[in-house]
Amino acid sequence: MNWVLVVIGAMVGAPLRCLTDRSVQRRHDTVFPWGTFTVNVTGSLILGLLTGAVAAGAASPHVQLLAGTGLCGALTTYSTFSYETLRLSQDGAGFLAAANVVGSIVAGLGAAFVGATLAQTIWT
């Protein structure tokens, strides 16, 4: 029955990704994929919080399946990140493509670290 939790989380995460991406991108007059960047960093932060909460015993593995695997798995998108980076590069925006790669990795890992640290600080 664990797969049901993942499906339910994904049913929320996928539309949330689409709505957030469109909302953020509409506010920026640039070719840089701010919408995808936002959902990926936000998903990393949420997953870090969940991982820290589970490690501290404040959340169950079921919550991690629902919100971590399901919601965050559908909210974040590596394939769109890859496609948009490739598109930037092909369109002659090599600097923006490189900035997307470096910025996404640094911000995503940083957000996950902050989330895990915050969760452990709160629940230990």
Instruction: Tell me the per-residue pLDDT of 18-66, one tens digit each, with 9 for 90 and over.
Output: 999 999 999 998 999 999 999 999 999 999 999 999 999 999 999 999 9
The sign of the torsion formed by the CA atoms of 40, 46, 52, 54 equals negative
Q: Report which of 109, 10, 113, 123 is spatially closest to residue 56, judged by C-alpha positions.
A: 123
C-alpha 97, offset from chain centre: 18
For residue 1, is pLDDT > 90? no
* Count of domains forming the chain: 1
Instruction: Tell me the per-residue pLDDT of 77-86, one tens digit each, with 9 for 90 and over.
Output: 999 999 999 9
Instruction: Tell me the per-residue pLDDT of 70-109, one tens digit each, with 9 for 90 and over.
Output: 999 999 999 999 999 999 999 999 999 999 999 999 999 9
Give pTM, 2 decimals. 0.95
Q: Report which of 111, 112, 83 is spatially closest to residue 97, judged by C-alpha positions.
A: 83
Domain range for 91? 2-123
- pLDDT, residue 38, reads 98
Angle (CA) 7 8 9, round 5°: 90
